[in-house]
């Protein structure tokens, strides 16, 4: 009895996407189980929210990477090699997701957050990565290789019984439009206006850092940071000259540097003669000088207390900005450390 040939491209696409969603959900469940102490404070409602809203972030990254391949696979191209090619791409993307999620499982317990900026530094550590993969993570590699071999065999066997569908142009167009709509909606993550889903959007669905961590996934966070590219810091100023300049401005007349190994550590000589003062630091987020009368003179009258402080205090109008986002300013104030290229943001 001859084998009945058929076109299973659409079914293969749906099954692959569903498999990826199952993979992400299983990874989230494993994260919860393996790091139970970190997530112990979450209530049942918060756990349910993390798993349900986590699908939003999962599908966003799945749609981003798998969406184009799904669309190309389902175009009205009748060549068998075309279908085999894009099926293989979908399988490789699924395996890549599995690799990233496995790496995230290994990384998360070390600092209680997902992989992010670290993907930009991996080019400097390929030796360590391969050494770790083939010595400590070889069972995972073996399992992934077996999955790839099985998927390759299934795709090859499917190509033997493949027969392109005979849809009308109207039906093919409708199929392509629906795929595009689902992909765009998945990437955006919402129906409203504004930007597509970002890492910071997790706090629309999470009230604590632990709940946010469980809602997110390592593939999404790594992509959101990695897509910005590695920041190359070019600084040709001599380090010795820079250090002397900093010490000149930083070390007071009654202070010395006790240890050359720590050139910015200071020690005061003798007891301070001045009385000790309390210092209160107030951080204001989201303020614009245009609406502060003491800075702009516009007369809005909405910041009377701050205007009074400006009259009685010292106002630095030409200060150095450590960054364009509040979190960079918080780091500079709280830790005396501005954003360093290549390192994750403080907090």
* pLDDT tens-digit map of 230-261: 656 666 778 888 888 888 888 888 888 888 88
pLDDT in tens, 170-227: 998 999 999 999 999 999 988 877 788 888 888 889 989 899 999 999 999 988 877 7
Most confident residue range from 50-54, 85-89, 142-146, 228-232: 50-54
Q: For residue 175, what pLDDT is reported?
A: 92
Higher pLDDT, 73 or 155: 73
Q: Is residue 95 a contact partner of residue 140, using CB atoms and an 8 Å limit?
A: no
Mean pLDDT calculated for residue range 321-341: 75
Q: Say if CB 331 and CB 347 are below 8 A apart.
A: yes
Of the candidate ranges 19-28, 122-131, 193-202, 278-287, the one whose mean pLDDT is the lowest: 122-131
> How far apart (Å, rounded) are the C-alpha atoms in residues 35 and 10?
38
Residue-level pLDDT at 68: 95
270 has pLDDT over 50: yes
Domain ranges of the chain: 9-226, 235-277
Assign 52 a pLDDT band (cuts: 50, 70, 90).
Answer: very high
Q: What angle do CA 135, 140, 144 make, to 5 degrees?
A: 125
User: What is the per-residue pLDDT for 272?
Assistant: 65
- Per residue, the 3-state secondary structure of the chain, as one string, reads CCCCCECCHHHHHHHHHHHHHHHHHHHHHHHHHHCCCCCCCCCHHHHHHHHHHHHHHHHHHHHHHHHHHHHHHCCCCCCHHHHHHHHHHHHHHHHHHHHHHHHHHHHHHHHCCCCCCHHHHHHHCHHHHHHHHHHCCHHHHHHHHHHHHHHHHHHHHHHHCECCCCCCHHHHHHHHHHHHHHHHHHHHCCCCCCCCCCHHHHHHCCCCHHHHHHHCCHHHHHHHHHCCCCCCCCCCCCHHHHHHHHHHHHCCCCEECCCCCCCCCCEECCCCCCCCCCCCCCCCCCCCHHHCHHHHCCCCCCCHHHHHHHHHCCCCCCCCCCCCCHHHHHHHHHCCCCCCCCCCCCC
Give the rounded percent of residues in the chain with a pLDDT score beyond 90.
28
Average pLDDT over residues 327-336: 78
% of residues, the chain, pLDDT over 70: 88
Maximum average pLDDT range among 142-156, 212-226, 320-334: 212-226
Could you tell me whether strands 267-268 and 255-256 are parallel, antiparallel, or unpaired per DSSP bridges? antiparallel
Average pLDDT of the chain is: 84
Whole-number pLDDT of residue 1: 47
Note the pLDDT of residue 329. Answer: 80
Entry pTM: 0.69
Question: Smallest Cα–Cα separation from 214: which of 62, 20, 21, 55?
Answer: 55
Cβ count within 10 A of residue 216: 26
pLDDT score for 50: 95
Phi, psi (5° rounding) for residue 158? Answer: -65, -30
Confidence of residue 320 (pLDDT cuts 50, 70, 90): confident
**Rg, the chain, Cα only:** 28
């Amino acid at each position: 009895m001859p084998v009945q040939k058929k076109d299973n491209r659409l079914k293969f696409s749906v099954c692959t996407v569903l498999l990826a969603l199952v993979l992400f959900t299983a990874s989230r469940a494993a994260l919860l189980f393996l790091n139970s102490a970190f997530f112990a404070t979450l209530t049942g409602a918060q756990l349910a929210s993390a798993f349900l809203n986590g699908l939003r972030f999962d599908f966003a990254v799945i749609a981003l990477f798998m969406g184009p391949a799904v669309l190309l696979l389902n175009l009205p191209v009748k060549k068998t090699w075309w279908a085999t090619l894009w099926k293989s791409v979908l399988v490789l993307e699924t395996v890549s997701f599995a690799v990233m999620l496995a790496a995230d499982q290994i990384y998360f317990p070390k600092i209680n957050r997902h992989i992010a900026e670290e993907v930009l530094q991996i080019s400097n550590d390929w030796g360590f990565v391969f050494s770790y993969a083939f010595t400590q993570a070889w069972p995972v590699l073996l399992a992934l290789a077996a999955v790839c071999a099985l998927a390759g065999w299934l795709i090859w066997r499917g190509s033997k019984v493949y027969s392109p569908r005979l849809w009308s142009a109207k039906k093919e167009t409708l199929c392509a439009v629906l795929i595009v709509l689902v992909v765009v909606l998945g990437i955006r993550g919402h129906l409203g206006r504004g930007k597509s889903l970002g890492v910071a959007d997790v706090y629309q669905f999470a009230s604590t850092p632990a709940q946010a961590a469980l809602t997110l996934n390592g593939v999404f966070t790594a992509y959101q940071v990695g897509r910005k590219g590695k920041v190359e810091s070019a600084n040709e100023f001599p380090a010795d000259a820079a250090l002397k300049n900093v010490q000149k401005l930083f070390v007071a007349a009654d202070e010395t540097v006790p240890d050359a190994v720590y050139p910015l550590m200071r020690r005061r000589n003798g007891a301070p003669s001045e009385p000790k003062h309390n210092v209160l630091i107030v951080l204001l987020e989201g303020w614009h000088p245009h609406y502060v009368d003491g800075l702009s003179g516009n007369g809005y009258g909405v910041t009377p207390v701050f205007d009074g402080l400006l009259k009685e205090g010292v106002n630095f109008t030409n200060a150095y900005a450590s960054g364009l986002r509040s979190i960079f300013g918080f780091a500079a104030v709280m830790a005396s450390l501005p954003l360093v290229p290549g390192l994750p943001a403080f907090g």
